[in-house]
Amino acid sequence: MAKWTPKHEAPEPLEGPVVATITGGTILWFVLFLVQLPFYGWFDDHGHLWWLWTCLAGAGLGLIGIWYVRGRDAAIKRAAAAADSGASTPSAGTDTEGTSDATA
């Protein structure tokens, strides 16, 4: 049996509105928790109390996710800014405004 090998490079991962997606999911989990909270007794009587705590755990983990993806997004933007500033550094003898040192 031959080993499978890819015939082409894998595509770059898609970057979308990650922070907004995680924030929306976190809000959704918390809203689901709040909607189920008035039915606490019913869930307890029928052995489905874990539904309530699952929603709360999803909201809590979503808060950690928001913190993580905001930091990741900021790091990506810092790296892009550093790459842009590294590519467009002024030549020796000029300051950041493009004027020559001789005129200063």
Q: pLDDT at position 104, please?
A: 44
Q: Higher-confidence residue: 99 or 87?
A: 87
Average pLDDT, rounded, for the chain:
85
pLDDT in tens, 33-79: 999 999 999 999 999 999 999 999 999 999 999 999 999 999 999 99
Question: Shortest CA distance to 39 belongs to which of 55, 23, 24, 26?
Answer: 55
Q: pLDDT at position 4, please?
A: 78
Asked if residue 93 has pLDDT above 80, the reply is no
SS3 content of the chain, % helix, strand, coil (to 5): 65, 0, 30
Span 6-32, mean pLDDT? 90
